[in-house]
A and B are shown apart, each in its own frame.
Chain A
Amino acid sequence: MSNRGPLAVAFIAGMLMIGDYFLDWGPLNSYAEWVQKYYIIIAAFAIVLGVASLFKLHLGKLKRKEDGWRYSIVTFFGFFAMIVTGLFMTSGDLTGTKHPWNAWLYTNVQLPLGATMFSLLAFFIASAAYRAFRARSLEATLLLLAACLVMLGQVPILTGGVFESLPEIKQWILDIPNMASKRAIMIGVGLGMMSTALKIIFGIERTYLGGSEE
């Protein structure tokens, strides 16, 4: 069995979406709107595969009593707590994430965990700056200087005299050299993306389909 079928599907699906972008034609446009709205359904189905993989991983750990197998129980506990309150319980009209227990778990477990992980960045950004910003070469020096000037321009650390112009310098760095290279990167990314996507719908790039055996 070759990959010809799937490649044809990718081609047709892709061409229809491109057509929708350029052409003003009722049936095509409403088809495209429909597709964009509902293709997430595939992702919703796929999550079952994800959960199966997660279960396999942790059940395996439990069975083999691997290092840290007790933590797998914690994962299952969290998972089922969310599933039971989110899928099977109702409180009046409130279901899913609006169910008070589910919402409570979200606000007091998931939200603070996420926010705290996010806030670790404040520490990591400091250690990364310390380690990486060394004036080893001209390039590294430019990196370092730009970072320090922008940081000094952000907050009032040094004030008075020459330092009063730091915010302006910061703004200039952001508006001119920073903008110039962002534009260039974006242009490159746009072209790279487009050519990769074209290769996919023309069937030149097919690695993503994996093997073609059986």
Chain B
Amino acid sequence: MIFNFLNLIFQIQIKEGKGPVFLVLVLFICALVFFLDKARKGASFKIRKIAGLDAVNEAIGRATEMGKSILYTTGLETASHIATIASLTILSRVAKRAARYGTRLQVPSFDPIVMTLSQEIVRESYLEEGMIDSFRKDDIFYLTQEQFAYTAAVEGVLIREKPATVFLMGYFYAESLLLAETGNSIGAIQIAGTDAVTQLPFFIVSCDYTLIGEELYAASAYLSEDSSIISSLKAQDFGKALLWIFLFIGSIFTFFGSVKFLSIIGGSS
């Protein structure tokens, strides 16, 4: 029995060509654990200002003053997309503020699982703020999973309800500009955030603030106000710094004929 088990273990091998990824992943996890440990021991990390983040509170406040609602969409991906989960974390913060101020929050959903998760998250936020009685489950509703039918319906909500503040956070496709332009035409303050590289330009031109790529993930960590979650930003920076140095030195050495750097990251065939 034990022999069989050992035999089984020895059969396991790392797949060919996955070495570099494994190495970098292990390094990254080490950095993550290191900073997490520091955070647990009470270290606090300074994070630079992210323009869109400071605007979040202001934008919620504006909706409250105007007596209008907030519309939040978590993008057009399922819950299996990490950007959607980052968006859900931001939603939880937005919902808390909205609950505190008594501002109506509408969340039209594209995916039923995301809708259910959103309901749970918003409900929890209202509960934490002691405002569970004003939680309206029906304001977090499902529309459809067809890209442009969803877009058409959200445009309908935008134009008829005229929310004062619109959040577009998560992964988006071509509909990004349709949503952002319609939001702009009703004069809403719009804060967008996406890791969809192709859609960033459209949010940049049509929204008041845009979280670019990694900033979306950083925002979800930052807004959590939990130092152990924020510590992961340190690990990300560590990863970037490592890569930065690697690219800088690697490019110079490669230029002079070394193939080592390319093969380290698995780029030579």
Q: Is the CB of A132 within 8 A of B205?
A: yes
- Closest approach, in angstroms, between the C-beta of A63 and any C-beta of chain B? 13
Which residues of chain A are within 8 angstroms of B64 by Cβ–Cβ distance? none
In the complex, chain A residues whose CB is within 8 Å of the CB of B243: 187
- Assembled-state Cα–Cα distance A63/B212 (Å): 43
Of B47-55, B65-73, B140-148, the one touching chain A = B140-148
Provided the pairs A24-B13, A24-B15 are in contact, do residues A192 and B216 lie with their beta carbons within 8 angstroms? yes
State whether the Cβ of B56 lies closer than 8 Å to any Cβ in chain A: no
Q: Which among A86-94, A96-104, A203-211 touches the partner chain?
A: A203-211
The interface residues of chain B, by DSSP majority, are classed as helix
B190 interface residue per 8 A CB criterion: no
Q: Give B202's nearest chain A residue, CB to CB.
A: A128
Q: Which of B82, B117, B229 contacts A197 (CB 8 A)?
A: B82
Among residues 55 to 96 in chain A, which have CB atoms less than 8 Å away from a CB atom of chain B? 56-57, 60, 68
Least CB distance, A196 to chain B, in whole angstroms: 5
Q: Which residues on B sit within 8 Å (CB–CB) of A118?
A: 148, 174
Q: Are B138 and A193 in contact (CB under 8 A)?
A: no
Query: Chain A, 45-62, contact with B by CB distance < 8 Å: what is the 0/1 string?
Result: 011111101101100100
Q: Are A198 and B113 in contact (CB under 8 A)?
A: no
Do A191 and B195 touch (CB < 8 A)? no
Is the beta-carbon distance between A113 and B235 smaller than 8 angstroms? no
Q: Is B14 an interface residue (CB 8 A)?
A: yes
> A207 contacts B82, CB within 8 Å?
no
Q: Is the CB of A191 within 8 A of B92?
A: no
Cβ of A129 to closest chain B Cβ, rounded Å: 7
By secondary structure, the A interface counts as: helix
Given A182-B197, A210-B121, A120 and B212 contact (CB-CB distance below 8 Å): no
Query: What's the least CB distance linking A13 to chain B, in Å?
Result: 11
B78 within 8 A of A: yes
Q: Are A50 and B112 in contact (CB under 8 A)?
A: yes
Q: Which residues of A contact B103 (CB under 8 A)?
A: none
Shortest CB-to-CB span from A85 to chain B, Å, is 17
Q: Are B32 and A187 in contact (CB under 8 A)?
A: no
Let me know if A43 and B121 touch, CB within 8 A. no
Chain B residues contacting A128 (CB-CB under 8 Å) are: 177, 180-181, 184, 202, 205-206
Residue among A23, A24, A43, A210 with max Cβ neighbours from chain B (10 Å): A210
Whether the Cβ atoms of B141 and A22 lie closer than 8 Å is no
User: Is A42 engaged at the interface, CB distance under 8 Å to the other chain?
Assistant: yes
CB distance from A128 to the nearest CB of B (A): 5
Contact between chains at A209 and B120 (CB < 8 Å)? yes
* Chain A positions within 8 Å of B236 at CB level: 188, 191-192, 195
Instruction: Enumerate chain B residues within 8 angstroms of A188, measured Cβ to Cβ.
Output: 213-214, 236, 240
Least Cβ distance of A169 to chain B in Å? 18
In the bound assembly, the distance between CA atoms of A51 and B109 in angstroms comes to 12
Asked whether B32 lies within 8 Å of A49 as measured between CB atoms, the reply is no
Please report which residues of chain B, range 187-223, place their CB below 8 angstroms from some CB of chain A when the two chains form the complex: 195, 197, 200, 202, 204-206, 212-214, 216-218, 220-221
Task: Name the distance in Å between A132's Cβ and chain B's nearest Cβ.
Answer: 4
The answer to whether A53 and B120 touch across the interface, beta carbons within 8 angstroms, is no
| Structural contact, A193 and B195, CB atoms closer than 8 A | yes
CA distance A132 to B180 in the complex (A): 12
Tell me if A53 and B13 are in contact (CB < 8 A): no
Report how far A208 CA is from B232 CA in the complex, Å: 17
Evaluate whether A23 and B15 lie within 8 angstroms (CB atoms) in the complex, with A195-B32, A207-B88, A210-B117 already known.
yes
A138 within 8 A of B: no
- Find the residue from A56, A192, A193 having the highest chain B CB count within 10 A: A192
A-B contact pairs, 8 of them (CB 8 A): A21-B15, A23-B13, A46-B116, A53-B109, A124-B181, A125-B202, A128-B180, A191-B214
- 5 closest A-B pairs by CB: A210-B120, A192-B217, A50-B112, A188-B214, A132-B205
A22-B22, A195-B217, A204-B232 given; 18 more Cβ-contact pairs under 8 Å: A23-B14, A24-B12, A46-B111, A47-B112, A49-B116, A50-B111, A113-B152, A121-B177, A128-B205, A132-B204, A187-B243, A189-B197, A189-B217, A191-B240, A196-B85, A199-B229, A205-B229, A208-B121
